[in-house]
Structures are given as C-alpha cells and as structure tokens.
Structure 1
Amino acid sequence: MRWRKALVCAAQRLVSRPFSSTASYTVNSIILRSLKDHYLEVSKMTPPPLDFHISQKISPPSPYQVVKGALDTGGPVLRRVFGDEVVNVSVMRMVDIIPGGSADDYGNDNINQLFVHVDIAKPGQQDSLHLLCGMYPDALGIHSVSLRPKAESGGFLAVPSKYHGPVFEDVDEKIRDALHSYIEERGINESLFPFLQAWLYVKDHRNLLRWFKTVGTFVNDSHQGTLQA
C-alpha cells in the first residue's frame, strides 16, 4: 500500500471502527484510546526522505528555497528571487480539490497530478501575476493566467478582483508558448515535481498526527498529553 493511501486508510478506520458496548468504558475513553492507537500507528510510518536542513535527500532545484514555516501554513512552499521579482510557488493535489474523493482515488495516476500556483511579484506593482498550472512527473501545463492584488500570504486560491483573462486554451498559440517559456525561465517546470510531491506527503503525515492529538484534547482536556509520542 502506498504511503499516502495508508494515511487515508488509517483515518478511515478510526471513523468506521465500532464502539465497544463494554459498560466499563465511557464514550470519551473509547474515543481517546482509539485516537491514541491510530496516532501511534501513523507515527510509525516513514514519510519520504525529505530533509530541509541537512542532507536534502529530496530538495527543490536551486535557487528555490523552502519558505520558513510553510509546513504549518496554507501559504507558498517555495520562493526564489529572479532579477527584481519574487516568485512564490504553492501546491496541492488535483484529487484534493475534487469533491467526493476517497482513499481509492489515491492511485498512482492521481498522486502524480499536482496543482501548482505561481505568484510573480515586482516592486512598485500593486498586482502580481498568478499562473495556475497542472504539474506531472514529466510535464507542466498552464491552466490560467491572471493579475491579482498582492497578498502577504501568497494564498493559493486568491479570488481575482478584476477580469481574470480568457480561457487559456483559447489564447493564441504563440502567446501560450511564450508564457510557457516565461515560467520556464523562472524555473517553473517538472523538475520541481519530486520535491513538491514529497512535501505533500510529509505535510499530510504531520496534519494527520496533529488531528489525532487536537481531537483527543478537545474530547477530554483532562487527558492532555495522552497522545504524546
């Protein structure tokens, strides 16, 4: 079973696990015990070898750098300077934004499809250039291009306040090719894929562990520390 699918299945087993009818257990204690069991199960899983500080077994191509604190936020993952521009890159899986997804959706094809949001900002400009791209292990395609107000967070799916441009497929082929060359020049291509995919795995792992702990604390705050590893 793939690492990502194992995480999803662990969470689903927690939800589907039937409560014991043993009178000696309260509902709270059953929930807390189940949360702890699944927390320990997930904590033993080994994420991809993503090391941001030392060996960098899977690292972003230079000169991109990991945005500090990005694992704990919904903002950009990677950043670089290109001339006087600041380029931010955010990422999520295509399957994660399709309603009704399940563990079975995390097959090899789906986990190899990423949405990459590129934000290019210039000094003195009120707007930044936003490009939404589909990224695969061996290719990258642009879905849309728009100008949007700069935001400190560089949020992934900021809503445009102005006309956000034509359907990209309807744009003249020469312009499409030129825009692909434009982002390629800034290092936006499939070479980012291995790092971004591993990044999502590690973030999923951290988020699921945090979820087990915070739900347990909410159910019974007198058990704080129960789910500590």
Structure 2
Amino acid sequence: MTMALRLLVRRSSSLSLYRPVTLIHPQQQLSPFPFPFQSRGYVSEMRKSAFEDRIRRLIRNDIQYELDRSPLTQLVPKFKSFSIDERTGEQWIRLNKEFGPKEEIKVEVTMFQVSAPPAAAKDGAVTTANDLELYISMVVDIFKDEKTGILEFVCNVWPESVEIDKVFMRDQDGMTGKPYLGPPFNDLDDELQTSLYDFLEARGIDDELAVFLHKCMQHKSKNEYIRWMGSIESFVARKK
C-alpha cells in the first residue's frame, strides 16, 4: 500500500470516531430552556409566588407586632347613659342617649386628626411640632320632636376637653342650599359661650367623655388597621 493510500485510510478511520456535526440555519434559534420545567412561564410564576409570599409575611409580622403590643378588643357597648355603635369597618362610631322625657341625643365621632390645641394657637405664636396633638371631630345632634329642628354642635375633642367650633339649627331632613349657620363660636358673647358649654355638660358631653372617646378611638383605629391588613393578606393569598 502506498504512503498516500495509508494516510487516506487513517484519516477516514479517525473521522469515523466523531459524531457528525449538524448545521443550524442562521434564522433558527436555540431555546435557552432546554427542559420543560425551566420554561419562562415557570420561572415567572415562581418569582410571583415568592413576591406574594414576602408581602404576606410582612403583613403577618406587622399584625403580630400590633397584637403583641395590645390584644384586639371590642369596644364597650356603653359609656354611662350612652349606647355605643362601633360601626365595624368604618371610620366613625355613633353614641346615642335619651335625655329627659323628650330629648334624644346622637353623637358621631370620626377618626383622629392632628392640629395644635386652642391653648397653643395664640395670636402671633409660631406652632411647632411639639405643639401638635391628636384630636377627634365630633358632631352632636339634639332632637326634641318632629315639629322642631335639630340643634347641632360641631366640636373638636382634645385628649381632656371638648371645644365647640360651631353651633346652629338645621331641619331634621338635612340642609339644603346654603343656610345661615351663625357666626364663629368664639365671636359669641363670653357668657353665652359658657352657657352653651354648660348645656352640653348637662347632657354628658364633657371632659370625662373626651377622655373616654380618645381611648375608644385608639382601640377603634387599631382594630380597623388589623382588619385592613388581614383583608389584604387574604386577598394576596387567594388563588385563581
């Protein structure tokens, strides 16, 4: 066998040891996920699940932190002669009582707001963060009979006092148009202001009620916050 023939046979034998190479068309793309369980949809779903688990964990941690500080409690149903409607899931509560044989009193109290109390809001004084306190907005409606209107007091309830902001008469069907609501309360005669405070105090709208309402609304705010967090956690956990 000649030298050239031996080289040809040797080259043919060595080539047979390798698998043939398959050429790929330039427009043909290889999948970056060669296995079914590594599809993009699977990875996306895994990331979504991890993200939702993190949200739920953060919510549960926050709820547990609040519960460790103080337990979730129901508001008391009565305070003195007032009955209390907690209005679960809403931002306000209602108190009702009867005063004497003819009067009915309805009190509506909303969530906390922040402002400077009257003592700190002096003319020309600069209000600082240290002056700010939580207060509650309160509307007191006093009914006598269907023939008369409603005497309404709009008040700010501070931690230990009640401040009258406005007092006026309105119809039992509500207000229409732009009725005259009287002057600012502080513009009234000092003796008349004192008499109107005495009028409310005689009906249980006093400093003791202010202290109770602040404690009551603290519980209300906490309860509503935990319910709100729980509803979000339940929604995130819900599967399609």
Which letter maps to 1:36?
R
TM-score for both structures, normalised by structure 1: 0.64
In structure 2, how many angstroms separate the alpha carbons of the residues matched to 1:160 and 1:77? Answer: 26
2:81 to 63, 72, 82: 63
Structure 2 equivalent of residue 119 of structure 1? 141
Gaps of 5+ in 2: 1-45, 116-127
CA contact (8 A) 2:114 2:132 kept: no
Structure 1 equivalent of residue 212 of structure 2? 195
SS at match of 2:81: coil
SS at match of 1:186: coil
Q: Percent identity?
A: 22
Which letter maps to 1:65?
S
TM-score for both structures, normalised by structure 2: 0.61
CA contact (8 A) 2:138 2:156 kept: yes
Q: Which moved more, 1:140-149 or 1:159-168?
A: 159-168
CA contact (8 A) 1:47 1:205 kept: no
Pairing 1:30–2:54 present: yes
Structure 1 equivalent of residue 112 of structure 2? 93
| Off by >4 Å, runs of 4+ in structure 1 | 22-25, 47-51, 105-109, 158-161
In structure 2, how many angstroms separate the alpha carbons of the residues matched to 1:89 and 1:222? Answer: 43
CA spacing shift, 1:222–1:216, aligned 2, 3 Å:
same
- 1:149-204 deviation digits (Å, cap 9, x = unpaired): 4479xxxxx99852222111112223222211211111111011232111111111
In structure 1, how many angstroms separate the alpha carbons of the residues matched to 2:67 and 2:130? Answer: 22
Structure 2 equivalent of residue 128 of structure 1? 150
Structure 2 equivalent of residue 40 of structure 1? 64
- 1:91-134 deviation digits (Å, cap 9, x = unpaired): 243318xxxxxxxx9989613x3333212122214742221123
CA spacing shift, 1:200–1:138, aligned 2, 3 Å:
closer
SS at match of 1:70: coil
Structure 2 equivalent of residue 110 of structure 1? 133
Aligned pair count reads 181
CA spacing shift, 1:176–1:47, aligned 2, 3 Å:
farther
In structure 2, how many angstroms separate the alpha carbons of the residues matched to 1:42 and 1:214? Answer: 16
Structure 1 equivalent of residue 12 of structure 2? none
Gaps of 5+ in 1: 1-21, 54-58, 97-104, 153-157, 224-229
Which protein shows a greater Rg?
A: 2
CA spacing shift, 1:46–1:176, aligned 2, 3 Å:
same
How many Å apart are 1:44 and its aligned residue?
A: 2.2
Q: Which has the higher contact order (CA 8 A, sep 6+)?
A: 1
Please report the RMSD computed on the Cα atoms of aligned residues, expressed in angstroms: 3.6
